[in-house]
């Protein structure tokens, strides 16, 4: 049987002994199947001498050449890979070494078997949209990036609340004093937004969740908007703030800066094992239907 995926790259979590071991194990497995894998350059450097049996590859080349990228780590590792390859929807498979793993759904113990099933064509695929975010200072764009999970405005190192103005499609919504605001995709709705009592959005929902962080108003509630909206958050004087993107990169905003968030035309393609169920995943990760422990 001809391989659908002939050019496969492995991306691992930095400074992780378990991650290094799993990367090498999967690399050997792929070689056994007649596929010569390549290991992402930073991952190979972190593993060291043991990775020299396999070719290294830069993220840029993974984006332009790979048929499949296998990400070994937690959701943060996969989020980073998705942003690095956002310009091209290289299919991603996640092997979970983290705690929850909403995106990295292949358990390490079953990684060889389930990766083999995916290579044999037994998988289901889905697309997740990303956010395009920019920070404007006057007429100058000072920061621009993509986010798969969320964009978060927070008070940074301040020991007090910040104040900002929220606009949707140019229309004034409100001015709010709070610790900040989360702008989340359906993918990000089970991350920081969930911890802040935001809604869980099914990946098939074309929506963006706005979740206030500790608002100084009992009436400030999470709102879900169509993904066609343009969301703007303007920092009100004298408050500065820090703006985070997928919890990985950030920009220090000043009073008067304007954060603009829209749906990106770019999408991330995820491959799951055959029989994958979003609700089964939530049931497992969030312990739904778990028996109540006896007091």
The rounded distance, in Å, linking the Cα atoms of 214 and 178 is 6
Q: What is each CA distance from 105 to 93, 102, 108, 250, 266, in whole angstroms?
A: 8, 7, 9, 27, 22
- When pLDDT is averaged across residues 189-210 and rounded to a whole number, the result is 97
The rounded distance, in Å, linking the Cα atoms of 47 and 14 is 8
Residue matched to tokens 């989020």: 79
What architecture (CATH level 2) is domain 8-121?
3-Layer(aba) Sandwich (3.40)
Residues of CATH 2.60.200.30 domain(s) within the chain?
130-264
The rounded distance, in Å, linking the Cα atoms of 117 and 50 is 27
Residue 125 has pLDDT above 90, yes or no: yes
- Percent of the chain past pLDDT 70, that is, above it, reads 97
Which range, 49-63, 128-142, 146-160, is most confident? 128-142
Confidence band of 294 (pLDDT split at 50, 70, 90)? low
Say if residues 268 and 128 touch (Cβ distance below 8 Å). yes
SS3 per residue for the chain: CCCCCCCEEEEECCCCHHHHHHHHHHHHHHHHCCCCCEEEHHHHHHHCHHHHHCEEECHHHHHHHCCEEEEEECHHHHHHHHHHCCCCCCCEEEEECCCCCCCCCEEHHHHHHHHHHHHCCCEEEEEEEEEEEEEEECCEEEEEEEECCEEEEECCCCCCCEEEEEEECCEEEEEEEECEEEEECCHHHHCHHHHCCCCCCCCCCCEEEEEEECCCCCCCCCEEEECCCCEEEEECCCCCEEEEECCCEEEEECCCCEEEEEEEEEEEEEEEECCCCHHHHHHHHCCCCCCCCCC
Confidence band of 291 (pLDDT split at 50, 70, 90)? low
- Choosing from 18, 25, 67, 75, which is the catalytic residue? 75
Say if residues 70 and 91 touch (Cβ distance below 8 Å). no
Min mean pLDDT across 38-52, 140-154, 175-189, 280-294 is at 280-294
- When pLDDT is averaged across residues 124-142 and rounded to a whole number, the result is 96
The question of whether 75 is a catalytic residue gets the answer yes
Say if residues 155 and 180 touch (Cβ distance below 8 Å). yes
Tens-place pLDDT, residues 238-262:
989 999 999 999 999 999 999 999 9
Tens-place pLDDT, residues 36-89:
999 999 999 999 999 999 999 999 899 899 999 999 999 999 999 998 886 678
Q: What is each CA distance from 58 to 64, 85, 197, in whole angstroms?
A: 10, 11, 38
Give the pair of three-digit tokens for residue 173. Answer: 């919504």
Residues of CATH 3.40.50.10330 domain(s) within the chain?
8-121
The rounded distance, in Å, linking the Cα atoms of 178 and 222 is 13
CATH number of 130-264: 2.60.200.30
Between 85 and 124, name the one with better pLDDT: 124
- Percent of the chain past pLDDT 90, that is, above it, reads 83
Confidence band of 2 (pLDDT split at 50, 70, 90)? very low
Average pLDDT over the chain, rounded to whole? Answer: 92
The rounded distance, in Å, linking the Cα atoms of 259 and 188 is 18
């Amino acid at each position: 049987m001809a391989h659908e995926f002939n050019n496969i790259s492995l991306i691992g979590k930095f400074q992780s002994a378990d991650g290094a071991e799993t990367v090498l194990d999967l690399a050997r497995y792929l070689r056994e199947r007649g596929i010569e894998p390549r290991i992402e350059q930073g991952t190979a450097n972190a593993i060291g001498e043991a990775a020299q049996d396999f070719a290294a590859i830069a993220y840029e080349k993974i984006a332009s050449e790979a048929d499949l990228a296998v990400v070994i780590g937690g959701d943060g590792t996969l989020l980073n890979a998705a942003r690095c390859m956002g310009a091209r929807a290289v299919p991603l498979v996640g092997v979970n070494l983290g705690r929850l793993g909403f995106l990295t759904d292949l358990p390490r113990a079953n990684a060889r078997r389930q990766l083999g099933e995916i290579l044999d064509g037994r998988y289901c695929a889905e697309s997740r949209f990303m956010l395009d975010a920019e920070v404007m200072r006057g007429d100058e764009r000072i920061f621009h990036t993509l986010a798969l999970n969320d964009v978060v405005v927070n008070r940074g190192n301040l020991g007090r609340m910040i104040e900002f103005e929220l606009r949707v499609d140019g229309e004034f919504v409100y001015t709010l004093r709070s610790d900040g605001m989360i702008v989340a995709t359906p993918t990000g709705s089970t991350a920081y937004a969930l911890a802040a009592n935001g809604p869980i959005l099914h990946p098939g929902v074309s929506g963006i969740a706005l979740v206030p962080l500790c608002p100084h108003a009992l009436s400030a509630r999470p709102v879900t908007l169509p993904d066609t909206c343009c969301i703007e958050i303007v920092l009100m004087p004298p408050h500065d703030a820090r703006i985070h993107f997928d919890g990985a990169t950030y920009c220090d905003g000043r009073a008067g800066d304007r954060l603009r968030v829209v749906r990106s035309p770019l999408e991330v393609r995820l491959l799951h094992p055959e029989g994958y169920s979003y609700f089964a995943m939530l049931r497992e990760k969030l312990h739904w239907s778990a028996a109540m422990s006896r007091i």
